[in-house]
Amino acid sequence: MLRRTLSIAAWLVVLFGFLVLAPRASLQQRTGEPAFAKGGAGEIAGEYEVPDPNWPQWAHPYPKPGYIWGSQGGVFAESADRIYLANRGELKLPDKVPNNFPGNWGFFNQMAATQPIANMVNCIVVVDRNGKLIEAWNQWDKLFDWGRGPHQVYISPYDPQRFVWVVDDMRHVIYRFTHDGKQLVQTLGMLDEFGENDDLTRFRRPTMIDWLPDGTFFVADGYGNTRVVKFDKTGKALLKWGTRGTGPGQFNTPHGIAVGGSPPRVFVSDRGNRRIQVFDTDGKFIEEWPGIAPHSLLMSADEHVWAVDSLTDRIVKFDLSGHVEYSFGQFGTRPGYTWAMHQISADSEGNLYLAEVFGGRTQKYHPKPGADPTKLVWGRSLMPMAAGRTN
């Protein structure tokens, strides 16, 4: 009996160490201070209410009967009333679905939503604050055949035209659409052809974009290459930096990028090397913040870098010097938990949106009444739409 009790106790100790201490250990930040100290490992949804699992409304015909939306690569909140969702195709549901099935692939708990082969339909949709469908850009679904769907989606905060940018990593291109999705106005890279690190005409599985106020933009490239490419506002490649490796200015899967500060700096999630690297806008290395491997970064309106960590499924707030100010979140498939947050976005009302590639859902987090505003993610305000452009 005593032996059995000791055995159970030992397992509980191991389990505690795995669930609580391990994530903390991997979130050591540059000062040696554990990131969780500013938030607490128990804070699942932080200053936000537990998300409504029925947001967005999974109303037919999106997806069609017998199917479910698959991996959610990206989400971008243009406003609280216009949210773009980047869906990496639809997956066929099992023949028998439990009554308590909440509507996301992660519920099945066995296979990430990226692994089954998806039908590339309903890849870009726009919903309102209630999660109700506003637009479905089905005219562009064909672009995502032969790939795995849109990687992420954005609008530059400095663009009065509000062009919509979509990164397609597996087809090695970045698309720029008109705001209403009716026209594809630019394709960066060469469709289906990858190039090496020194090739400024081709990407090799690009991952993310961010902008300077003058329209200059930076692309993290990516899964295949190990560099950042700087473009002028017309899409002309100006320069690139980075090689494969672990030293300063070297990368292993640069997967996220954010630009901000004064003077402006470029923050790059060097995911495979488990760090964020900081550069000036010409690629000169400034410093690194070790101990975190974000899928994505976000420069907030109050000039902080928010990182969604692939190691711990935590959302971490850094000041621009790399100090952790706050963190929350935990792995899981229930509402409020996350499984591989792939893009983070926020609107100016303080609502937070997280797209999960493995969980297969996008969750909207609404602030709790009386929430501490310093613990909320604030999206950058977008430049007002140019005259004559609506919707």
Binding site for other proteins (CB under 8 A): 111, 114-117, 145-148, 170, 192-194, 196, 204-205, 223-224
Hey, which residues does 267 pair with through a beta bridge?
Answer: 258, 278
Q: How long a stretch of residues is the chain?
A: 391
204 or 361: CB nearest other proteins: 204
Tokens of 60: 């037919």
48 or 223: CB nearest other proteins: 223
Tokens of 222: 């990516």
Sole residue written with tokens 């909440």:
102
37 or 170: CB nearest other proteins: 170
- Kindly state the smallest distance separating residue 240's Cβ from other proteins, in Å: 17
34 or 147: CB nearest other proteins: 147
Q: Which 8-state DSSP code applies to residue 17?
A: I
- Kindly state the smallest distance separating residue 97's Cβ from other proteins, in Å: 19
- Whether residue 168 contacts residue 177, with contact meaning beta carbons closer than 8 Å, is answered with no
| Count of beta carbons in the 10 Å neighbourhood of residue 348 | 14
- Kindly state the smallest distance separating residue 212's Cβ from other proteins, in Å: 29
| Count of beta carbons in the 10 Å neighbourhood of residue 170 | 17
The string of DSSP letters for 211-274 reads: E-TTS-EEEEE-SSS-EEEEE-TTS-EEEEE-EESSSTTEES-EEEEEEETTTTEEEEEEGGGT
- Kindly state the smallest distance separating residue 339's Cβ from other proteins, in Å: 16
Tokens of 28: 């050591």
157 or 272: CB nearest other proteins: 272
145 or 303: CB nearest other proteins: 145
194 or 267: CB nearest other proteins: 194
Hey, which residues does 211 pair with through a beta bridge?
Answer: 217
- Kindly state the smallest distance separating residue 226's Cβ from other proteins, in Å: 10
Q: What is the CA radius of gyration of the chain?
A: 20
- Kindly state the smallest distance separating residue 115's Cβ from other proteins, in Å: 4
- Kindly state the smallest distance separating residue 250's Cβ from other proteins, in Å: 16
- Kindly state the smallest distance separating residue 192's Cβ from other proteins, in Å: 7
φ/ψ of residue 245, rounded to 5: 155, -170
- Kindly state the smallest distance separating residue 140's Cβ from other proteins, in Å: 18
Count H helices, E strands: the chain? 2, 27
196 or 302: CB nearest other proteins: 196
68 or 299: CB nearest other proteins: 68
205 or 380: CB nearest other proteins: 205
- Kindly state the smallest distance separating residue 151's Cβ from other proteins, in Å: 11
- Kindly state the smallest distance separating residue 146's Cβ from other proteins, in Å: 5
192 or 319: CB nearest other proteins: 192
Q: Residue ranges of the alpha helices (H) in the chain?
A: 2-16, 22-25
Sole residue written with tokens 């509402």:
335
Whether the upstream peptide bond of residue 384 has omega within 30° of 0, thus cis, is no
Q: Which 8-state DSSP code applies to residue 180?
A: T
